[in-house]
Amino acid sequence: MYRLAGMSNPRQAQAFIDYMASRGIALSLAPEPEGRFAIWLEDSTHLVEAEAELHMFLADPYAAKYQAASWDVAESRTAKFYYNSPNLLKVVKSQAGPFSLSVMVTTVVIYVLWLLGFQQTLFDWLHFPSMEGDQWQLWRFFSHALIHFSALHIVFNCLWWWLLGGQLEQHSGVAKLVQVFLVSALISGFAQFWLSDPGPSYYFGGLSGVVYALMGYIWWMGWLSPQQGLSLPRAYVGFMLVWLVIGFIQPFMAIANMAHLFGLLSGCGLALFDATKGRRH
């Protein structure tokens, strides 16, 4: 067999194969790395004719004769190619790891139960320890990050968690993401509880503080220790910082601003510690 050409469009390559089949010359299509497809000539004695026809095809791949040939040989074609759309679940899994996926699934399940009428039960079990005796229930220092109060709230947080948490987990491993999650959930929770005035935002929850910690960690690691290979587009950083400022100055929405701010500071602090430790080593 002889590799005749490589193409990035498999439908177009199949049209040429069908046309050559109508002329009695057998070609086959095979996938290659980086999304390309190779056209293979099965009998090299037809090489001159195949190359000449390929040259004419590439000059006008949408000519009527090629489309007509595809219709003529469609039923007798032995190789079938399917062009499926990317599977959403596969896309999500490819950009995350076991811990980031587990947190996403847990938050979604909790939110579904919230919508089904278990709001009070969930909040009673998962809220930050703000009542007498709660402080001995240690899970509360972290579980508040898993509660979300609206569709926009959970979509916004889960999207950023997937983008940033998935990136950190794939780059630095599960242990590092768990560390950032626990530290930032603890610090952002305490900051929101102790530094915010009693009001709607006093009863808080969500991954926002952790998300800001992830943003701060990846951002500062890219700045302080670029050789580590972690980086964040400036547009992401700019958007998150602008949203942080808007949260403090807007009077309409109840936003856990202290959780956001101290989540960001905790992520930057962890990055500073890791970058300094890396220089010493």
Per-residue pLDDT of the chain (281 residues; tens, 9 = 90+): 788 888 878 888 888 888 888 888 988 888 876 667 888 888 888 888 989 898 888 888 888 888 777 666 655 555 455 444 456 677 677 778 899 999 999 999 999 999 999 999 999 899 998 777 777 889 999 999 999 999 999 999 999 999 999 999 989 999 999 999 999 999 999 999 888 766 555 578 999 999 999 999 999 999 998 888 888 888 899 999 999 999 888 877 778 899 999 999 999 999 999 998 877 65
> What ranges in the chain are assigned the alpha helix state H?
10-22, 47-59, 64-73, 88-94, 98-115, 119-126, 140-143, 151-160, 166-172, 174-195, 208-224, 234-249, 257-280
Q: Please check whether residue 69 is in contact with residue 18, taking contact to mean a CB–CB distance below 8 angstroms.
A: yes
Which CATH code of 3.30.9.10, 3.30.70.2350, 3.30.830.10, 3.40.50.300 fits the domain covering 2-73? 3.30.70.2350
Active site residues: 208, 260
Q: Where are the domains of the chain?
A: 2-73, 88-280
pTM over 0.85: no
Q: Which is nearest to 145 in space by CA: 136, 133, 134, 154? A: 154
| Distance from C-alpha of 15 to C-alpha of 5, rounded to nearest angstrom | 14
Domain 88-280 belongs to what topology? Rhomboid-like fold (1.20.1540)
Q: Which is nearest to 144 in space by CA: 53, 219, 198, 207? A: 207
